[in-house]
């Protein structure tokens, strides 16, 4: 007789105490900590500079906007006073006049000034530069219009002082009408550029961003021109070209910031935070990129200014390089301390941002937001 073999039944194990089903409140508590844990798990750098370059900074840009506005206001006021009081030192291309190119290296600037003084031309009003070209070194002397007889006399005296022939000294007469034509075209280009930029930014983003960007561009132009006036730099066609170039550079920095602002708007809109938190978070996230871009752009310009103009004597390069340096510095400043804070001021009362009455994030809470987390104070507002 066969025996029926009984199979052992699987043993029902009692749930362990640490594997009990989690309650809903426990799950919500865990989810609410995810954003903060993700940010707090990272080691915070010890110094402010390291925190800045590791994306852990918590600078209150909006809270310090008055300082930036005051500095900009003072610079604009000084620029306007200098421009109205002393004006710009316009080159011969804008004022008109006569220039002599004297070849050879024997003639010194002091000797050229003595020749002008001996012929009744004030050396202080002349612009004398030593330049280099493929054909060799030469001295360029630029003065206001002079009678034909004085032109020939100075040309002969310069040739004798340099030890070259009369015909080797070239003479160029520049009409002031050409300079006025260049100025008019530059102003028209600036107005058209401003109008097109305003329309494009308004379509791509919104009108308040367009207004803030245009305000930053105007800020850069006024201060750059003011610096040229206060320091007595000569304005040449190369300077005008450089100014038009740096307008695009300044606008590029501002657009990069505004593009990140739009991304953070989508992130924070449902969290009922003031718009200042959006701008502060954005600025702390992109400020290092803005500074690095500016520094990497300034280094080649400095090399042009030091090597090209300083060692090689290409003074025309210095006219272009100085304008670029001034424009890059003002453009970087306006992107950080003018355009973004101005946008925060204009959108702070927008109905979309219901948290306008709440205090903005500061310190550790702002750092968590910058690092991608959601501070507990923000989560409590959104419930």
Q: Give the tens place of pLDDT for each residue, 294-349.
A: 888 888 888 877 776 666 656 667 777 888 888 888 888 998 999 999 998 888 77
pLDDT band at 353 (very low <50, low <70, confident <90, very high): low
Which residues of the chain are in CATH 1.20.1640.10 domains? 53-88+178-382
377 vs 229: which has the higher pLDDT: 229
Q: Is the pLDDT of residue 33 over 50?
A: no
Which residues of the chain are in CATH 3.30.70.3220 domains? 97-174
Residue 232 backbone dihedrals phi, psi, to 5 degrees: 75, 25
What is the arithmetic mean of pLDDT over 282-286?
88
Please give the pLDDT value at position 72.
Answer: 93
Q: How many alpha carbons fall within 13 Å on the CB side of residue 93?
A: 11
Q: Is the pLDDT of residue 57 over 60?
A: yes
Q: Is the pLDDT of residue 95 over 60?
A: yes
Q: Is the pLDDT of residue 47 over 80?
A: no
Please give the pLDDT value at position 28.
Answer: 39
Q: Which contacts qualify for 142-150: CB closer than 8 Å, 24 or more apart?
A: 142/91, 142/92, 142/97, 142/98, 142/99, 143/97, 143/98, 143/99, 143/116, 144/95, 144/96, 144/97, 144/98, 145/96, 145/97, 145/98, 145/173, 146/98, 146/121, 150/119, 150/120, 150/121
Please give the pLDDT value at position 71.
Answer: 93
Instruction: Tell me the per-residue pLDDT of 219-273, one tens digit each, with 9 for 90 and over.
Output: 988 998 888 888 888 887 778 877 777 777 778 888 889 989 988 888 887 777 7
SS3 content of the chain, % helix, strand, coil (to 5): 70, 10, 25
Please choose, from the candidates 361, 273, 262, 332, the residue with its C-alpha nearest in 3D space to the C-alpha of residue 62: 361
Quote the mean pLDDT of the chain. 77
Q: Is the four-CA dihedral 301, 305, 307, 308 of positive or negative sign?
A: positive
Please give the pLDDT value at position 74.
Answer: 94
CATH classification for the domain delimited by 53-88+178-382, as one of 3.40.50.720, 3.90.1150.10, 1.20.1640.10, 1.10.3720.10: 1.20.1640.10
- Most confident segment among 100-114, 195-209, 343-357, 364-378: 195-209
Q: Please, what is the angle between helix 340-347 and helix 275-303, to 10°?
A: 160
Domain boundaries 97-174, CATH class: alpha beta
Please choose, from the candidates 377, 364, 376, 378, the residue with its C-alpha nearest in 3D space to the C-alpha of residue 264: 378
């Amino acid at each position: 007789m066969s025996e029926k073999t009984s199979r052992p039944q699987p043993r029902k194990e009692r749930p362990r105490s640490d594997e009990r089903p989690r309650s809903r409140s426990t799950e919500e508590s865990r989810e609410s900590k995810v954003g903060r844990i993700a940010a707090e798990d990272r080691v915070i750098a010890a110094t402010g500079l390291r925190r800045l370059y590791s994306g852990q900074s918590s600078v209150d840009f909006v809270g310090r906007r008055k300082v930036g506005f005051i500095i900009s206001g003072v610079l604009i006021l000084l620029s306007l006073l200098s421009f109205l009081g002393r004006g710009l030192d316009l080159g011969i291309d804008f004022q008109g006049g006569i220039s002599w190119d004297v070849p050879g290296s024997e003639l010194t600037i002091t000797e050229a000034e003595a020749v002008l003084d001996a012929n009744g031309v004030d050396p202080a009003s002349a612009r004398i530069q030593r330049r280099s070209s493929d054909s060799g070194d030469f001295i360029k002397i630029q003065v206001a219009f002079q009678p034909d007889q004085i032109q020939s006399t100075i040309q002969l005296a310069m040739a004798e002082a340099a030890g070259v022939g009369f015909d080797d000294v070239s003479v160029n007469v520049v009409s002031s009408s050409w300079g006025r034509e260049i100025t008019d075209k530059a102003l028209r280009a600036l107005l058209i550029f401003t109008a097109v930029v305003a329309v494009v930014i308004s379509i791509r983003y919104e009108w308040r961003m367009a207004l803030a960007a245009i305000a930053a561009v105007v800020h850069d132009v006024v201060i750059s021109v003011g610096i040229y006036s206060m320091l007595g730099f000569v304005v040449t066609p190369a300077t005008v070209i450089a100014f038009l170039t740096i307008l695009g550079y300044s606008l590029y920095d501002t657009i990069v910031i505004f593009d990140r602002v739009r991304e953070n708007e989508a992130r924070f809109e449902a969290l009922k935070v003031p718009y200042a938190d959006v701008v502060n978070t954005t600025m702390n996230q992109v400020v290092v990129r803005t500074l690095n871009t500016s520094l990497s752009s300034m280094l080649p310009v400095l090399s042009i200014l030091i090597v090209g103009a300083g060692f090689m004597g290409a003074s025309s390069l210095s006219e272009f390089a100085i304008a670029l340096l001034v424009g890059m510095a003002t453009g970087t400043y306006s992107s950080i301390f003018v355009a973004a804070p101005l946008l925060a001021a204009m959108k702070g009362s927008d109905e979309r941002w219901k948290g306008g009455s709440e205090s903005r994030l500061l310190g550790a809470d702002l750092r968590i937001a910058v690092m991608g987390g959601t501070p507990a104070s923000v989560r409590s507002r959104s419930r």
